[in-house]
Structures are given as C-alpha cells and as structure tokens.
Chain A
Amino acid sequence: MVLGIDVGSIYTKGVLFEGKVIKKIVLRTAYKPKEAIEAVKNALSGYEKIIATGYGRELVADAYKIVTEISAFARGATYFNPEVKTVIDIGGQDSKIIKIKNGRVVKFVMNDRCAAGTGNFIEKIAHALNLSLEEFGAMALKSEKPETIDSLCVVMAETEILSLIQEGKKIEDIIFGVCDSVIRRINGIAGPLGIEEPVLFCGGGALNPGLVRALRRYYPEIFVPEESQFVGAIGAAMME
C-alpha cells in the first residue's frame, strides 16, 4: 500500500492507495506543513512507502519518491478518466493547465505571479463579502447573469465589487462574475497551449460550484471528480 501525500499551500491531502483509494484525509496546512504531514501519516497508517507531491513535498523527509504536483495531477487524472487530455487545477496558491497524453505531461502552464486565477482570489473576495466559501459557491449558482469583473488584482477587484454593490447589482451576479473572471484568467494563461476536451477540473477550486459553473460556460463537458481535491495525492501514489 502506498501513501500519496499532496502538501498544498492551504490543505494537505493524503490517500492510502492500492489500485484504488482505500482511505483518504484532508487537513489544513495552516503554515505548519510539517505538522500537517505528520498528522496525515498518523491518520493513514499501514503504508509501505510514501510518495510526496505538492508545494511542500520536500518536507516529507521519509518519502520514497518526490514528484511535482504537475506530474501527479496528470497521472491522477487518468485514475478518474483515462481519456483526459487537459487538467485544470485551481489551487490555493496557483493554478495550472496541464496537457496530457497517456497520463504523462506533454505541456503545462502555471499562474504563479499573482492571486488572480487562484483559489486565494476567491477566498479573499469571499472574506471581503463576509461569506464562507460554501455560501459564496451556493450564491454563484443563483445568478442569472454574471456581472463583468475586469480587475485581475484582488485589491482592485474588491473596489470594483464595491462599485457594483453601490450600483445596486445583485450580489449573486457579482459573485458569479468573480468566478467568471477567474476562469477568464485561466483561459488567458492557457493561451497557445489550448484547452482540449475531455477536461478534468480538480484542486480546491473544483469544490466551488460557482467556479465549476463558470468553467462549464466555456467547456460544457468538463469532468469534476468527487474526490477532486485528492487528484494530486492519488496521482502521486500511482507513480510508484
């Protein structure tokens, strides 16, 4: 049995894997990645080896193997759908678009220059609106017509949202507009790489129904696995 650990910037995910997911756990990294890693290891005992991935992968001192989250996501996507050609991952700190073939990375692009296009952007806006992430996602589903949010900078977006609120725009339309702006940013990052279907959407961002809905406006056939947060950890475990 292999323990796949994906040490993300916000959450640390672990899966016990033996041809299929035996057990899984997700814990908040909370700027204490080493503690989160130990907690995952304690919760998922009985493994023979550990394969680590994610932002804090090198902190898993007893890892048998360390792989980047990009390769891990590519491999993990095939667990859910072997035909997947593009993986879109919206994580807490960055977002990635990965083109894959037979579970291997062909090309990839990442957004790591600012919060735009990441889960962090959503978290900040939700916080500014005094909403939980669950409430934020649920409200986005109620929108009938998203407002356009042009600002890529989270600070400027807050100002823009404030203006829209003052103009009397519906909050659910503003929230869905925020989700749409994240996806437009993702499209922009993808650029010449292109997003080829079937697309698998994963990472913490895939747990947000507003982002899923916004992404489906552009790619109706996207596939969102139930265990979307665990794609990296599963992929790592599969790279034995």
Chain B
Amino acid sequence: MKRTYKVSPKKIGLRTWSKQFEKISTETISRYRYYNNGEWGIYLSPPATFMVYGMRELKRLKFDNSFEALRMWGFVFNETERLFRAKQIGKKVIATMGDLGVVPILVMSFPECVPFYPECLWWTPFFKESTELLDTASKLGVPEATCFSRAVVAAFHKKAYFPKPDLIIASTGASCDDYSCVMQTVEDMGYEVFWAEIPYRKSPEFFLNKPKPQILEKTKEGFVYPKILEEHLIREYKRIWQALFKLTGVNNPHRLVDTIKKINTLRRLVMGIKRMNEEAPIAPIPALELMVIEFGNLYGYADFDEWLEIVEMIYHLVKDRVAKGIGVLKKDAIPIAWVTPSADPYLLNLVEECGCRVVTTEYVINQALVQIEEDIEPLRALARAFINASLIGSTEERIKKIKEKIVKKQVKGVLITNMLGASHCAMETRLIEKLLSDVPILSIDVPAPFGITQQIKTRLEAFVEAMR
C-alpha cells in the first residue's frame, strides 16, 4: 500500500500534526474506514481531534510524524466510537479481561463478534484532563492500592466508554490479581461474568519431586510444563467456545482455523517490526508507537482486519526507514530493555528524550508474539502458544528470558515500570533488580495521572549518565 506523502522521520506534537494533516486529500481520508463502512467508519483525523472527547492530555505527547502512525493513532483512539457502532449495527460486543490474548481469537471465530479489552482503559486517565475514572473506582470500592485497571470499574458504572457487552469473559488464577478483583467488583455491580481459569505454570522441579510422575512438555520458547496444564487450558477454551456458541447459535470450528492463520500473519508482522527495530543502527520508530503495536496483537483494537492492514503498512514504513538508515532517534541513543508496560504513555516519550532507545521489551504479553501451530487441533495450538506467557510462570523464569534478551540485544540497562498496586509488580520488581544485578537497572513506580515530576526525570537522566 502506497503512502500518501513522505516526511523525514521525527517526533512531533499535536500542533504540527494538525498542520501536516492539511496535506492529506479528502479522497485519502475517506479511503480508511473501520468495519469497511464508508458512511460512518472513517477514522483518519489528527490526534488533536480526540481532545474534543476530553483527551486533553494528548498535548503532552510526541508522535511519529508518518502517515502510517497517523492512521494507527486515528484508529486506536477511535475504539470507543467503534464499539458503540458495532453494537448499533448488530454485532456482538464481547468483553474479555485478563486472558492475555487467547479469548479474542475464539471470539473472532464467531460471526459478527467483536472482542475488546476493558482493561486497556488503564491508560485512558492519563490522556484525560481529570482523574474521574480513577476517583469513581475508589468511590465504588476499588481504591488506590489497586492498579490503574481499576478504571474499568468506573467505566462499567458510567456506561460511557464502551457499550454493554453481550458477554463478559474474565480470567482468574494466574491472571493478574487486580484484574480479577476489578471484575469481581463489576460482577457485584450486577453484570454477569463468565469466569475462566488460567493455571499457573509451575517450575519443572515441582513436578519431578511429585510421587506420581507427570508428563512434561516444552514450548518452542523453551518453557517446560506438565501436559495437564495444556489439557486444562483446552477444557477452559471449550467452555468459552460453548458460551459463544450459545450466544451466537453458530458452531464452526473451521473459522477458528482461519482466525489462527490471520493472527499468525499479524504476529509475523509485529515480530518483523520488533526485529527490525532491534537490529537497526537508528531506531526506525518510537517506543510509544511500538508499544501500541505490541498491544494490538492481543485483539486488533476491535477491528482485526483493519488493524492487520495498519500494521502491514507500518511494517513497510519501518522496512523503508531501516533500508535508508533513517529513524526517529539519535544514533547514539542507549539501547535499553523495558520491563512491564507503562500505564502513562508519556514515560515512553520521556525515556527517549533522556537519550535512551527501547530495543527490547518484556511487557508480559510476549506470548501474543508466538506463532500458533497450524497443523494441530486448534484449541491445543492455542493452549500451547499461550503457555509461553511470562505472567503465568515464576519470576525466575521471566528473569531468565530477560537476561537472554539483554545479551542478545546488547542492552546497556533495564527499565522497569511498576504499576502501583499491581500485585505482580510488588512481588517481583525487587527480585528482578536482585537477579539482574550485573546491569544498570532503574525501577519507577508509575505515578497517578499528572504525577511525573522533576525527580522522575532526574532518575531517568542519572540512569542514562550511569550507562554512558
């Protein structure tokens, strides 16, 4: 797909984007639309447009100046509108929570079903000029000691950020405890929740010491797990499938095979983008855009086909920039690994302003990058791909993977962004710091909206000075 105009890569603010937008023809604007609807599905607009909907803090951010990034941001910010439209035109809107990217694959295999992640609202308060969502969550009984995903409780209460879902599927078990807590509160508010259990991936030693030996398997990523874990996941996926069958009246397993193929195409593209970013001498795309792309792997921002096209377009942009040896950061930017995503997108901008370059990430959604086997029974293939999830295993295993990346990507330092209140952050950050003692590490508790202060900047700058 051809780009509409060419610009030298750099990061720009809202004002510049709005000026640049004037160069885009009406014909081009109308070409890109969600749900392939030319009447109301047009989403291309400068990011400043979304300030009208209260996202006034977008003014803090710097964006990639490419047309491809513009298309991506227009699409991503348009998600709320898209979900309400989906409902209006008779699609079934399915909320999935805490499952780390598998349930949407099942949902997308049913006709006219649109999955979305309510927890992705966790960064919405950081775009808003008020902390209303978080304050409301506190009033509803989910206080500050819970991660920013508590915004979901307020969203369900306000009925304004997404339509009432036709089905809510929430995960518990090895999923994030805060997500489970949030969804239990939503359930208490009168919403019906379909619960699925994600089991913990215990270390192989645990099973070897059991009197009854277990059959052990190994994922392509190198995680050893007992076969019963795979069987358990398949049972859970079958339950979800049945629930979706009940909702839609359709049961066509061939659609799952097709969905897996499409998902694999997206994952290949995203892996390609990540690989090019890691290997290029100059960062071809900013960390913020990369994070949005990585998260899109989970569900395609509620219109998978359009998202796939967007990512394909970005893939070609990155390829082009790498071939030309151009990018968005200075050549001497220090390569770092980023562990756990930041709820506040501004931090990704700030880290780059301080002289770093994110070459690898451990956003606890790495399993959404793994190729799903296409030559075995699909539910088993989904289970086997999912077992690679770092969040369901031990911190030691996660650290081992981070260490491998550090060596492979020649990372000079590790940045950990903690989500205040998120149980796994509280449990594992100190352990990560201890076990990665041979490389400079900086851990930051991501503060509540508007909380990034001079001290956080000082810490980032000192982190850079220590690595130089």
Residues of chain A touching chain B, judged by Cβ–Cβ distance below 8 Å, are: 55, 67-71, 93-94, 104-108, 110, 112-113, 191-193
Contacts and interface: CB of A to CB of B under 8 A. Distances in A.
A107 B441 contact: yes
Contacts of A193: 433
B445 A113 contact: yes
Contact of B462 (A55, A70, A112, A191): A70
B440 interface: yes
Given A107-B441, A110-B459, A192-B430, A55 B466 contact: no
A71 B465 contact: yes
B329 to A, nearest CB: 20
B462 A68 contact: yes
Contacts of A104: 466
B209 interface: no
B396 to A, nearest CB: 15
Contacts of A69: 458, 462
Contact of B465 (A67, A94, A113): A67
Nearest to B440: A107
A112 B430 CA distance: 18
B343 to A, nearest CB: 17
25 contacts: A55-B454, A67-B465, A68-B458, A68-B461, A68-B462, A70-B458, A70-B459, A70-B462, A70-B466, A71-B465, A71-B466, A93-B455, A94-B455, A104-B466, A105-B462, A105-B466, A107-B440, A107-B466, A108-B459, A108-B462, A110-B455, A110-B458, A192-B430, A192-B437, A193-B433
Contact of B430 (A94, A106, A191): A191
Interface string B430-468: 100110010011000100000001111011011001100
A55 B462 CA distance: 12
Nearest to B455: A112
B448 to A, nearest CB: 12
How large, as a class, is the contact surface on chain B? Answer: 10 to 19
A67 B465 CA distance: 8
Q: Give me the 6 closest cross-chain CB pairs, A-B, nearest first.
A: A70-B462, A112-B455, A105-B466, A68-B462, A71-B465, A192-B434
Given A55-B454, A110-B459, A113-B445, 11 more contacts: A68-B458, A69-B458, A70-B459, A104-B466, A105-B462, A107-B441, A110-B455, A112-B456, A112-B459, A192-B433, A192-B434
B434 A70 contact: no
Contacts of A105: 462, 465-466
Nearest to A113: B445
A94, A108, A191 — most chain B CB neighbours (10 Å): A108
Nearest to A55: B454
A106 B442 CA distance: 11
B251 to A, nearest CB: 53
B440 A106 contact: yes
A94 B462 CA distance: 15
B455 A106 contact: no
Nearest to A104: B466
Contacts of B459: 70, 108, 110, 112
Nearest to B454: A55
Nearest to A96: B462
Interface in B406-447: 430, 433-434, 437, 440-441, 445
B455 A108 contact: no
